[in-house]
């Protein structure tokens, strides 16, 4: 499996106007470590006071055009909400979304390294408290975040929402043919490409505490994979919990999941 490079290039800060009643977040652009001609966009909201702070990195799912990438978490007020609770709140636009350069590679090395370079830069700037990083990923973001945690032991916590964790099994199911086409289009569909994006094959390497959420009626993922992933992490000495919501599909409303997610984040990071 590829690992994130160790050399990271300069950070450029800009600002944008946010929604009413939500404090403005900083927009940061970093050159992609795999291709300096491409950039990674992220949004950053700091708590009051001086850092370093426990940090939450939010990763979005697939977005149709127009794609706003990580800015959605700003618009929804998630960065503001967690910054007010004392967390450094960060949202990364995955390659091919928002203003992050593509192409998208379906949560592969190029996408993982885009997220890792943001984390590394913020850590080098002294903003992230040691061993106090949690990644919350939705759908594609869950795959990306989970894969990063398989090789980055500094990730203390994972919240994985509506993700895919065994791509070969998923792609072999004819009920998911449309999504499988997207996977093949971005990865080439080789056995190696499917394997290196499947967290279940690397569950033994996850040291982070994990909360894994899925809807029982999800027609874009297989909720049984969420349960399998939690089981594999626990079987190898890790700590994971899967929650399957019987009345929901791919979208689990925030008001439903926030009670579990917020308590988990506070437990891991505080």
234-249 tens-digit pLDDT: 999 999 999 999 999 9
> Taking phi first (over 0 means left), then psi (-120 to 50 degrees means alpha), and beta for anything else, what does residue 237 get?
left
Where would I find the H helices in 125-253? 140-149, 167-171, 177-187, 191-195, 223-235
**Which tens digit of pLDDT belongs to each residue from 118-161?**
999 999 999 999 999 999 999 999 999 999 999 999 999 999 99
Sequential DSSP letters for 56-97: EEEE----PSSP-TTHHHHHTTHHHHHHTTT-EEEEEPPTTS
CATH number at residue 87: 3.40.50.1820
Instruction: State how far the alpha carbon of 174 is from the alpha carbons of 95, 165, 178, 183, in Å.
Output: 28, 17, 9, 14
Look at residue 13 in the predicted model and tell me its pLDDT.
33
> Taking phi first (over 0 means left), then psi (-120 to 50 degrees means alpha), and beta for anything else, what does residue 34 get?
alpha
Q: What is the pTM of this model?
A: 0.90
Instruction: State how far the alpha carbon of 260 is from the alpha carbons of 90, 254, 266, in Å.
Output: 20, 10, 10
Give the confidence band of 173 by pLDDT, cuts at 50, 70, 90: confident
Quickly count: other Cβ atoms within 10 Å of residue 238's Cβ. 18
Distance separating alpha carbons of residues 236 and 258, to the nearest angstrom: 28
In-domain check, residue 186: yes
- Residue range of the domain that includes 247: 11-269
| Nearest one of 118, 119, 104, 116 to 62, comparing CA atoms | 104
In-domain check, residue 6: no
Residues in the chain: 270
- Find where tokens 């019987």 sit: 246
In-domain check, residue 2: no
| pLDDT > 50? residue 75 | yes
Q: What is the CA radius of gyration of the chain?
A: 17
**Side-chain-side CA neighbours of residue 261 (13 Å):** 23
Domain count, the chain: 1
In-domain check, residue 1: no
């Amino acid at each position: 499996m590829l690992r994130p490079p160790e050399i990271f290039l300069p950070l450029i800060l800009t600002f944008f106007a946010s929604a009413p009643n939500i404090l403005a977040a900083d927009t940061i652009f970093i050159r992609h470590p795999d291709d300096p001609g491409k950039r990674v966009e992220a949004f950053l909201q700091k708590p009051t006071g001086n850092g370093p702070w426990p940090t939450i990195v939010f990763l979005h799912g697939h977005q149709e055009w127009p794609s706003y990438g990580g800015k959605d978490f700003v618009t929804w007020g998630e960065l503001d909400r967690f910054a007010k609770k004392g967390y450094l709140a960060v949202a990364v636009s995955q390659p091919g979304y928002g203003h992050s350069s593509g192409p998208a590679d379906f949560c592969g090395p190029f996408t993982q390294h885009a997220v890792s370079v943001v984390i590394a830069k913020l850590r080098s700037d002294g903003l992230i408290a040691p061993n106090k990083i949690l990644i919350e990923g939705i759908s594609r973001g869950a795959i990306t975040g989970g894969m990063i945690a398989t090789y980055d032991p500094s990730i203390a916590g994972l919240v994985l929402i509506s993700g895919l964790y065994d791509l070969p099994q998923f792609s072999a199911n004819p009920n998911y043919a449309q999504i499988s086409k997207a996977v093949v289009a971005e990865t080439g569909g080789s056995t190696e490409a499917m394997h290196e994006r499947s967290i279940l094959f690397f569950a033994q390497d996850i040291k982070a505490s994990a909360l894994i959420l899925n809807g029982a009626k999800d027609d874009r993922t297989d909720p049984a994979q969420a349960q399998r992933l939690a089981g594999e992490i626990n079987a190898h000495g890790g700590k994971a919990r899967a929650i399957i919501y019987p009345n929901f599909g791919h979208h689990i409303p925030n008001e439903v999941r926030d009670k579990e997610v917020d308590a988990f984040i506070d437990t891991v990071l505080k």
